[in-house]
Amino acid sequence: MPESFRSSHGHIVYTDSQAGAETLVLVHGLPTSKELWDPVPPHLDPNFRIVALDLNDYGQSEKIGRAISHKQRADVLDELRRHLELRSFVLVAHDLGASVAIDYMGAYGDHVQKLVLMSPPVYPDLKEPAVINLVRKPGIGEGMVRVMRDTLFSTSIKRGLVHKSQLTPELLESFSSAFAGAQGETALLRNLRWGLPAETFRDYPDIIRSIQTPTLILQGCEDIYIPADQASRLHADIPASTRLVFIEHGNHFLPIDTPEIVAEEINAFVG
């Protein structure tokens, strides 16, 4: 059952298996929610404690009515750590969740035992997908979110999958329904307009080069959203990066596309 706590930026909803020798905290990216990870835990070591949260303004977490930075999301992540009374944990993050993870490492890295980054957009020179550039335009973005919300979700996520049948109606509904109604549509637009890479990721190269935590990087060979060089550079720049895996027949949304491989890599890395 989902649980919640009040953070400095609104109520946060999360799930917690509440048992296990090692705690994995799973952080989703754009435009998904904690349900992104649902296909993975059945293949993970049963001795892991699994915590998955909805970031502020996503999923079942509170729509806070204002923009929130990646650094503030990292602060909230550490508030969750303290709420759960975790001294340390394994941080597993996908897509823009990986960006939040970089900010977390810059501020709170001492609490991370091991780090897993998937499909990571983390460098200031990242070229964004065309759809993101389109929704940034005043008026156009509002119209797209209002008229085409369900189509946007279905199309953008399916394009990021090799195994499109893995996106079940239930998963798609969990992502899309979180942004229903005027308040949800406004929150979705805020998230889609999350910031420009040149500004948001400006400090990331320095943080990345300071990471001394053992790190696993996973990237789909067929990722249409994040260029392979983002993962390769990250592996080269993190001093403690121990493994870079390019998953064959994997696209962007790896926890949905190749959950067994993602779990196998985490099991071997953390175990």
Radius of gyration of the chain (CA): 17
The C-alpha atoms of residue 121 and residue 138 are separated, in whole angstroms, by 24
pLDDT at 271: 85
pLDDT at 152: 82
pLDDT at 34 over 80: yes
196: which 2 tokens? Answer: 């420009």
What pTM did the predictor assign?
Answer: 0.96
197: which 2 tokens? Answer: 């890479």
The C-alpha atoms of residue 28 and residue 97 are separated, in whole angstroms, by 5
CA angle centred on 211, ends 205 and 212, rounded to 5°: 155
pLDDT at 146 over 90: no
Please confirm whether the linkage preceding 31 is cis (ω < 30° from 0).
yes
111: which 2 tokens? Answer: 């609490």
The C-alpha atoms of residue 50 and residue 90 are separated, in whole angstroms, by 10
Instruction: Specify the 3-state DSSP secondary structure of 196.
Output: coil
Judged by average pLDDT, the poorest of 90-99, 132-141, 176-185 is 132-141
Number of alpha carbons in the 13 Å side-chain half-sphere of residue 223: 27
Q: What tens digit of pLDDT does each residue of 103-128 get?
A: 999 999 999 999 999 999 999 999 98
Q: What tens digit of pLDDT does each residue of 14-27 get?
A: 999 988 889 999 99
Q: Among residues of the chain, what percentage have pLDDT more than 70?
A: 100
Domains of the chain with bracketed CATH: 3-270 (3.40.50.1820)
